[in-house]
Amino acid sequence: MRCEECLPLLDEYICGELDEPLSNRLATHLAGCENCTSEQTELQREQNFYARCAVPATPALWAGVRIKIAEEEKAGGGFSLPGARLWLAGALNAWRLSPLRATAAAVVIVIALSVGLLNYIELGGDAPVDEAAVRPENESKEQPSLSVDIPVTSASDKYGVSVQTGGDIDVSVSSKKIEKRVDKFIAVAGEKDVKPKPRKTIIAARRHISNRDSSKAEVSRVSDRTGAAFASGIDTETAHHVERAQILLRSFKHWRFSEDEMALEIDYEKKLSRELLGKNILLRADAQSRGNEEAGKLLARLEPFLLDIANLQEGLYQEQVALIRERMHQEGIISSLRLF
């Protein structure tokens, strides 16, 4: 074995990762090569040096993980208000991110609302709603119900698309029932022969989820979360979300890439933007329903930017990024986020 063969394998040799024949060949070489032996010694010294630098985790970390898991479980289990909102936001968001499906979704929503969506959800479907199963016996009609109002508007006139609709969906049924209904809509949307919008079009749809009665609707029938704890958690989450969004937009603002280089970066930024968008919809709805005007307005301003970044289209990155940056500058969105 020559030194050129030996040196790149020393690291694996020291870690015992080489197979026996190769390891033996290396050992033979090392026995007669001062240069490689010296390098072996140096590597071992480094291994020892870095091994001393282990940084243990703080035991308290688990508490934070446990809390977040508990929050997610609450959000995901049964018919908890945040869970239903998160699910709806995600479902609607998924539609939005595909131009074809978004258009189909908008059309279906208009049709569905016009023929009486309220009745459809309350009475229709393949599995009748067992009201008794989801509503306590002593619950009157005055009990709060989650109301989902979904106005869809264009974020910017320059994109040339404007879809306006709205309506109330009374979802005073279990989350499972809601899921079935929306699954049906998705199926219907898929079957519709809807002509897709031009690829260059960016539809910046805003979906607004609000409570008909915010003071009562804070209290989910199933959730045992108190209003105060819920509000506190949401405020903290909003602050964290705004911080992340600010970082994303700042990063976006300072991009200096060619189209090719940008293509490599864009997937990550789009993915992050999608993630933030889903969260933004949820948090904005919560802020607005709780009367937190400042947070609601800020998140409403942020949403079109997240949406547009999430929808950046291959081949048009430079042009679209320039447009978004210009709007960011005009609207001073980063400053607003920083000041929040």
Partner 1 sequence: MLADELSTYVGTPINNSEALIERARRGDVEAFNSLFERYADPIFSFIYRMVGQHELAEDLTQETFVRAYRKLKGLQLHAGTKLSTWLFSIAKNVARESMRARLRDSGRVEITEQSVLELSDNAPRPDAQLLDRELNSIIQAALQTLDEDKRLVFTLRVIQQRSYEEIAEITEFSLPKIKTDIFRARAEMRRLLHPYLEASDEM
Is 72 near partner 1 (CB under 8 A)? Answer: yes
3-state secondary structure 236-305: HHHHHHHHHHHHHHHHHHCCCCCHHHHHHHHHHHHHHHHHHHHHHHHHHHHHHHCCCHHHHHHHHHHHHH
**Contacting residue, 31, 65, 133, 339, with partner 1 by CB under 8 A:** 65
Enumerate residues 6+ apart whose C-beta is below 8 A from 148.
88, 168, 169, 171, 209, 210
Is 112 near partner 1 (CB under 8 A)? Answer: no
Considering the complex, state which of residue 189 and residue 242 has its C-beta at the smaller distance from partner 1. 242
To which H or E segment does residue 185 belong? helix 175-191
| 253-272 binders of partner 1 (CB under 8 A) | 254-255, 268, 272
Piece of 51-59, 206-214, 285-293, 322-330 that binds partner 1 (CB under 8 A): 51-59
Enumerate residues 6+ apart whose C-beta is below 8 A from 131.
173
Is 44 near partner 1 (CB under 8 A)? Answer: no
Contact 307, 96 (CB under 8 A): yes
Piece of 169-177, 205-213, 247-255, 298-306 that binds partner 1 (CB under 8 A): 247-255
> Shortest gap between Cβ of 275 and partner 1 (angstroms)?
9
**Contacting residue, 35, 38, 62, 215, with partner 1 by CB under 8 A:** 62
To which H or E segment does residue 147 belong? strand 147-149
Contact 333, 302 (CB under 8 A): yes
Is 335 near partner 1 (CB under 8 A)? Answer: no
Widest pairwise Cα distance in the chain = 91
Is 20 near partner 1 (CB under 8 A)? Answer: no
Is 4 near partner 1 (CB under 8 A)? Answer: no
Q: Give the SS3 label for residue 42.
A: helix
Closest CA to 185 of 120, 89, 234: 120
> Shortest gap between Cβ of 117 and partner 1 (angstroms)?
32
Is 224 near partner 1 (CB under 8 A)? Answer: no
Q: Give the SS3 label for residue 144.
A: coil
Enumerate residues 6+ apart whose C-beta is below 8 A from 65.
none
> Shortest gap between Cβ of 303 and partner 1 (angstroms)?
18
> Shortest gap between Cβ of 42 and partner 1 (angstroms)?
8
Size of interface with partner 1, in residues (CB under 8 A): 39
Is 115 near partner 1 (CB under 8 A)? Answer: no
Is 66 near partner 1 (CB under 8 A)? Answer: yes
**Contacting residue, 51, 127, 187, 264, with partner 1 by CB under 8 A:** 51
b (16+ CB within 10 A) / e for 36-45: beebbeebee
> Shortest gap between Cβ of 39 and partner 1 (angstroms)?
11
Closest CA to 91 of 70, 81, 105, 108: 105
Using CB atoms within 10 A of its CB, is residue 174 exposed (0-12), middle (13-18) or buried (19+)?
buried
**Contacting residue, 31, 54, 133, 339, with partner 1 by CB under 8 A:** 54
Piece of 88-96, 117-125, 208-216, 246-254 that binds partner 1 (CB under 8 A): 246-254
**Contacting residue, 25, 184, 212, 244, with partner 1 by CB under 8 A:** 244
Q: Which residues pair with 169 in a beta bridge?
A: 148
Considering the complex, state which of residue 62 and residue 199 has its C-beta at the smaller distance from partner 1. 62
Summarize as ranges the residues that interact with partner 1 (CB under 8 A): 8, 11-12, 15, 17, 42, 45-58, 61-62, 64-66, 68-70, 72-73, 244, 247-248, 250-251, 254-255, 268, 272
